[in-house]
Amino acid sequence: MATREEHLSFFKTLDKQRIPSVMPVIAWMLVVFLVAVGLFLTFVPWVQTTMGLGAVTALNPNDRLQEINALVSGRVEEWYVRDGSRVVVGDPIVRIVDNDPRLLERLKAERDQAVAKLEALDNAIDTAEIDVNRMRDLFDQGLAARREFEQARIKVQELRSRMAEAAAELTRADINLSRQSAQIVRAPRNGVILKVAATEVMAFVSPGDVVATFVPDNAVRAVELYISGRDVALVQPGDKVRLQFDGWPVIQFSGWPSAAVGTFGGEVLVVDRSANSEGRFRVIVIEDETADQAWPDQTYVRFGSKARGWVLLSTVPAGYELWRRLNSFPPNLPGMSAEGTAE
């Protein structure tokens, strides 16, 4: 039988082939890499997060964007502000006048008439009560009939009823006068006029029409995030959040929030009990007072700015997190411990 050397003598090219010296090195590198990846996935901790998109808003509803409405019907006579004007409480915004230029004078005349009527009825009641007392004395002495005494008492009651009607008329006159006197719409508090309604001078407005939109000063900011329904059950008030604001430079590592640059601390305040039309749940996040860095000034992060947030959940091995994401499971699958092992 021919030996291996004899066979190779017939194949000169094959006999000259040699395994490259770099191949063992590559093989050892692959082994080391796979071992390193296994150790990484097994022992390196990973902070589970659930991400949501949202925007900056005001925590107090009274601090959010507000509409300023016309209080009376009439025509616009003069604007006192423009887009971007800063106002303080009580500053005039727009002047509205009625189509009847003498309406206020007539309302005041009606009020004066109601006051005079009320005073006359008050004097008449005083006189009628004197008559009742006199008729009672005469009736007790037998000098007056009971019918005359009863008629005097009925007259007092009628006068009091008319006086109540006059008082109601005076109240209505005061209300009408007060409403028409509010022809200058004023700022409800300190803030900025965001937008003036596109209403020309001399245009007609009705009560309730929007004349301007207004943003108050010193509003406490919050962030509304919308979280997937898959993860929302694990989000609780008090959970820590890392926030990225639109237009703010950031380097974010989802599993290692401590290594992130440009994110800011937040804390979950409220989690909605029902989802929106897209099946996502609203989570309100406020500033974390214990964080090492405060939120950017309102000059840079304004109301309505887009934001992205990562709610920090449990810490698990990186391998478990990779397995969870590949299977699209929620964080901390029920029946599993925080370390990813069966309970």
* Close Cβ partners of 67 (under 8 Å, ≥ 6 residues apart): 210, 212, 213, 214
Q: What is the pLDDT of residues 1-35, one digit of tens each?
A: 556 666 556 656 655 666 666 777 788 888 888 88
Residue 94's identity, in one-letter code, is V
Decide if pLDDT at 246 tops 80. yes
Which domains can be identified in the chain, with CATH numbers?
4-28 (no CATH), 42-61+220-326 (2.40.30.170), 70-92+184-216 (2.40.50.100), 103-181 (1.10.287)
The residue length of the chain stands at 343
Per-residue confidence band for 338, with pLDDT thresholds at 50, 70 and 90:
very low
The enclosing H or E element of 191 equals: strand 191-196
CB of 276 closer than 8 Å to CB of 224: no
Share of the chain above pLDDT 90, in %: 5
Q: What is the pLDDT of residues 196-244, one digit of tens each?
A: 876 666 677 777 788 888 888 878 889 999 988 877 877 888 888 888 8
Q: Which residue from 73, 94, 98 is spatially nearest to 206, judged by alpha carbons?
A: 73
Q: In the beta sheet, which residues pair with residue 92? A: 186
Q: What is the pLDDT of residues 277-328, one digit of tens each?
A: 888 899 999 998 888 788 888 878 888 889 988 888 777 787 777 777 777 6
Mean pLDDT of the 43-49 span: 77
Q: Where are the alpha helices (DSSP H) in the chain?
A: 4-10, 12-16, 22-43, 103-140, 146-181, 318-326
The enclosing H or E element of 215 equals: strand 210-216
